[in-house]
Amino acid sequence: MTIDPTPAEAEAHGLLADSLWPQRLDSGWQCVSTPPGACASPADLPAQGWLAAPVPGTIASARRAAGQFDVAHPAPLAFDDHWYRLTLTGIGRRRLRLHGLATLAEVWVDGVKRLDSDSMFVAHDLDIELSGDTTLALCFRSLTPALAAKRSRARWRPRLVTPSTLRNVRTTLLGHMPGWCPSVQAVGPWRPIELLSDARHAIDTIDLTSRVDRDDGVVSLTLRFVHPQVGDDCRASLNCGDAVSSLQWTDAYTLSGSVRVLNAQRWWPHTHGEPTLYPLTLQLDDARVSAEPSSHSLGSIGFRSIEVERGADGMGFALRINDLPVFCRGACWTSADLVTLAGSEAQLRHAFALARDAGMNMLRVGGTMVYESDTFYALADEYGLLIWQDFALANFDYPNDAAFSASIEREASQFLTRTRRFAALAVLCGGSEVDQQAAMFGLPPSMRAQPLFTEQLPAIAARERPDVPYVGNSPSGGVWPFSTNEGITHYYGVGAYQRPLDDVRRAQVRFAAECLAFANVPDHATLHDVLGTIHAHDPRWKAAVPRDPGAGWDFDDVRDHYLQSLYGAEPARLRYEDPEHYLDLSRAVVADLMSDVFAEWRRAGSGCGGALVWQLQDLRAGAGWGVIDATGRPKSALHGLAQTLQPLQVLITDEGLNGLDIHLLNERAEPLHAQLELVCLRDGCVKVVSASRAVELAPHSAQRLSAADCLGQFFDFTHAYRFGPRAHDVTIATLRDAADGRVVSEAFHLPERRVGERHDLGLSVTVERNAAGDGWQLVIEAKRFARFVHINDTHYRAARDWFHLPPNRPCVVPLIPHAELREMVASASNPAFKADATCAAPAGEVRAVNAISASFYG
């Protein structure tokens, strides 16, 4: 290909396209697959069978683009050889930068091997000479020899990963975890490949850091050029917002300096303030090149401080951001696109927007995943989402030889240097479930310790990101490293271990870096579009339901347990007598569980510092762990979380014989003058008791009120005393803004959750244009309390779904076209895709789990 200049690092920073920045080698690639060892060099490659190959990308993404890849039944790509080739046109010495090669890779230039790489997590620079047409070839070798090579014997072998010798290879575990991850194995140039510019001021590396100094923010920059510069003839400065500071030459290649922003606004997670970012600009003044100084965007940067708070007993774990305690809530990240391992910016923005709008403020990138792109971390900065980052290590007893340690040193240092500028990076963690795995095999602490986590990684983190707390493992703390009442835990008491809801308080969770895994049923549109008409016991359905290796149960069984214990329904009978109602109740019970558990952890007086649901998004279509399905549509679980995770929140907790507690939370920096309304209804519409009072929510506050105190008289809110039949069906606590009467938050408590009875709720639906006239919305109203209202529409999804609706109160629900999501997903794998811009008018049904029938519209 002829190399055309493109923006350097534009993926993350939106930098200007000019001769300073590297040139991305994104087009013109071809790839071919061969049996392992069949081609010793490019000279042996076949003439036929080549495919056009997207780069960055993988063999799987190339085959998908060619219509030759079935994600449901993927070929074992990691055990063949795969070749990529590209023709470069140019003259002179250039530097090639390869940001990530998965996994055992060779780099050939005009038939000569110039580089070997044995880790997908490290970047390489290679100086090459262009002489007209130059052929660049990449070979990705089979993992088989590396997996068979003899290394030190492991003290334990986890069942999660196949084969167990993957501990010796620096590659992602995605694609190698049967039971919950499709076997899409990472092979290919999954990160960008660039040629550094040969212009006079071509930039090699940019190293940016920020720190808080009392009330000020300080940005430090080290800028290295590809070619030596003449310092006396080129002057430079760094602008951060309105602040400017000159940069100094430290040698012929390097400019460095700092700029101080007085009284800098802090970057906050979006739940607690604005994620303020300052634009950065580099000014270069070289009279030999131009009479006017040139200005170049370096993206943006934020200022924040982060500390860990251990609590009065020293056994807790919580974050203080800018000296303020923050309850961290969110989910564990998997991948925006398992095939490319990156996803498009549109896909990332979609996932981040759903997480933010649900009230999440943290995502965890676990050790079984990959280090994400610069775009990912830049968007986390923009959306105000904290990132808990595991190093790419999980479950194994890793080698401790010099070669492995050197590889980890390079991998960790490169990652932290690359992401040093991002304010969102909040926690660094050595790995996932390594200590837990060893402890569950019965090993004492002395036999399960690994210097990798206790010495090497903390030293690298302290050197490269001293502003980010480090923890050795997730989970960790306590006599057992997975104890729930100390340090960091993975809480599956409610979930896989089928504990009752009161276990959430008994477990005394301090911080759950994972929790609440359920087989979350996708919405009607996804079941229809992707899975067809299969039922919940079909083998194709079961293939997508996660299960722990070797277990005699799966996560459908876990969900069914709560369907029976909470709702009194018989899952097997429901599945064959009323499969549609079974799916609705399955969605509802998960939303209930998510909402109730987080209400307990967020209540005033809770000792919990945060919790992250396992997982944010599915890796394949079906009833997976994700609260967002594989097509990008939110599931009922996400809607349930959204009812409990907002910065301004009213919560209800069941205190048994003590009745109900009402918790009022205000995480914002501004006070709220509000009115709290409390009402109990019988038959979903008859007011039994009610109360109202003015409340003041101070900034960054949590307060607890007794429902009995609000009412001023005895009432059996929880039906714990049982002095006769239940007097009510539901308690509703409504928090209204005193200024305009707007409902700020609402919470519900049902003393009896059984689902046997269904009624005529008087449910009505009206379709109308929104205020802007560019979209549709529904106005939904019911004459009786409607439990878990949900909308099924062929062409639209509801912005708000799976919610309770009080009687005689219209609710406006915006509609979002499914076509927008289809276009986003399709264009990510095929840039030429264009969806039909037209979308039919809304037509569908509104249902509720206690309604005798659906209400249709359109």
Same structural domain, 851 and 803: yes
Domain residue limits at 38? 10-195
CB 638 within 8 A of CB 354: yes
Same structural domain, 366 and 464: yes
Last residue of a domain, one of 620, 635, 662: 620
Specify the pLDDT at position 527: 87
Please determine, for residue 824, whether its predicted confidence score (pLDDT) is greater than 80: no
Average per-residue pLDDT for the chain? 92
Residue 719 lies in a domain: yes
Please determine, for residue 831, whether its predicted confidence score (pLDDT) is greater than 80: no
Residue 48 lies in a domain: yes
CATH of the domain at 248: 2.60.40.10
Specify the pLDDT at position 13: 36
Of all residues in the chain, what percent carry a pLDDT higher than 70? 94
Specify the pLDDT at position 19: 75
Cis amide bond preceding 76, omega within 30: no
SS3 call for 429:
strand
Task: State the sign of the Cα–Cα–Cα–Cα dihedral 750, 755, 758, 763.
Answer: positive
Residue 841 tokens read as 């008018």
- Report the DSSP pairing between strands 743-749 and 686-697: unpaired
Q: What pLDDT digit, counting tens, does each position of 263-305 carry?
A: 999 999 999 999 999 999 999 887 665 657 789 999 999 999 9
- Report the DSSP pairing between strands 193-195 and 243-246: unpaired
Segment 221-247 shows an average pLDDT of 89
Those residues with Cβ within 8 angstroms of residue 136's Cβ, 6 or more apart along the chain or in another chain: 25, 85, 86, 87, 88, 96, 107, 108, 109
Last residue of a domain, one of 267, 301, 335: 301
Same structural domain, 667 and 733: yes
Residue 330 tokens read as 């969110």
Number of domains in the chain: 5
Residue 463 neighbours by CB distance under 10 Å: 11
Please determine, for residue 784, whether its predicted confidence score (pLDDT) is greater than 70: yes
Last residue of a domain, one of 685, 720, 749: 749
Q: What pLDDT digit, counting tens, does each position of 695-707 carry?
A: 999 999 999 999 9
CB 25 within 8 A of CB 53: no
What are the angstrom distances between the C-alpha of 161 and each of 152, 166, 170, 320, 327? Answer: 18, 8, 14, 35, 33
d(CA 184, CA 62): 13
Segment 483-496 shows an average pLDDT of 96
CB 634 within 8 A of CB 628: yes
What are the angstrom distances between the C-alpha of 262 and each of 48, 267, 288? Answer: 63, 15, 34
Taking every pair of Cα atoms in the chain, the longest distance, rounded to a whole number of angstroms, is 93
Same structural domain, 509 and 595: yes
Q: What pLDDT digit, counting tens, does each position of 444-486 carry?
A: 988 899 999 999 999 999 999 999 999 999 999 888 999 999 9
Please determine, for residue 9, whether its predicted confidence score (pLDDT) is greater than 50: no
Residue 229 lies in a domain: yes
Q: What pLDDT digit, counting tens, does each position of 542-553 carry?
A: 888 998 877 889
CATH of the domain at 17: 2.60.120.260
Please determine, for residue 835, whether its predicted confidence score (pLDDT) is greater than 90: no
Specify the pLDDT at position 8: 35
Q: What pLDDT digit, counting tens, does each position of 151-178 carry?
A: 888 999 998 898 999 999 999 999 999 8
Task: State the sign of the Cα–Cα–Cα–Cα dihedral 411, 417, 422, 423.
Answer: positive
Please determine, for residue 732, whether its predicted confidence score (pLDDT) is greater than 60: yes
- Report the DSSP pairing between strands 324-326 and 328-333: unpaired
What are the angstrom distances between the C-alpha of 157 and each of 164, 392, 664, 728, 793? Answer: 6, 17, 47, 54, 47
CATH of the domain at 547: 3.20.20.80
Same structural domain, 263 and 141: no
What are the angstrom distances between the C-alpha of 594 and each of 505, 506, 516, 569, 615? Answer: 14, 17, 7, 19, 12
Residue 2 lies in a domain: no
Same structural domain, 255 and 287: yes
SS3 call for 254:
strand
What are the angstrom distances between the C-alpha of 344 and each of 15, 337, 347, 547, 820? Answer: 18, 8, 5, 29, 14
Radius of gyration of the chain (CA): 28
Same structural domain, 605 and 549: yes
d(CA 13, CA 688): 58
Same structural domain, 191 and 207: no
Same structural domain, 43 and 87: yes
Of all residues in the chain, what percent carry a pLDDT higher than 90? 83
Residue 693 lies in a domain: yes
Segment 481-496 shows an average pLDDT of 96
Q: Residue 119 burial (CB < 10 Å; 0-12/13-18/19+)?
A: buried
d(CA 688, CA 707): 14
375-379 contacts, C-beta under 8 A, 24 or more apart = 375/11, 375/12, 375/342, 375/345, 375/348, 376/348, 377/12, 377/419, 377/422, 377/424, 377/425, 378/12, 378/13, 378/299, 378/422, 379/345, 379/348, 379/349, 379/352
CATH of the domain at 803: 2.60.40
Residue 437 lies in a domain: yes
Same structural domain, 82 and 151: yes
Same structural domain, 565 and 654: no
Which range has highest mean pLDDT (70-74, 272-276, 817-821, 830-834)? 272-276
Q: What pLDDT digit, counting tens, does each position of 82-115 carry?
A: 999 999 999 999 999 999 999 999 999 999 999 9
Q: What pLDDT digit, counting tens, does each position of 609-633 carry?
A: 999 999 999 999 999 999 999 999 9
Segment 596-614 shows an average pLDDT of 98
Global pTM?
A: 0.95
Specify the pLDDT at position 18: 53
If pLDDT is split at 50, 70 and 90, which confidence band does 794 have?
A: confident
Same structural domain, 514 and 583: yes
Residue 503 lies in a domain: yes
Helices 402-418, 457-464: crossing angle, 10 deg rounding = 30
CB 350 within 8 A of CB 821: yes
Residue 641 lies in a domain: no
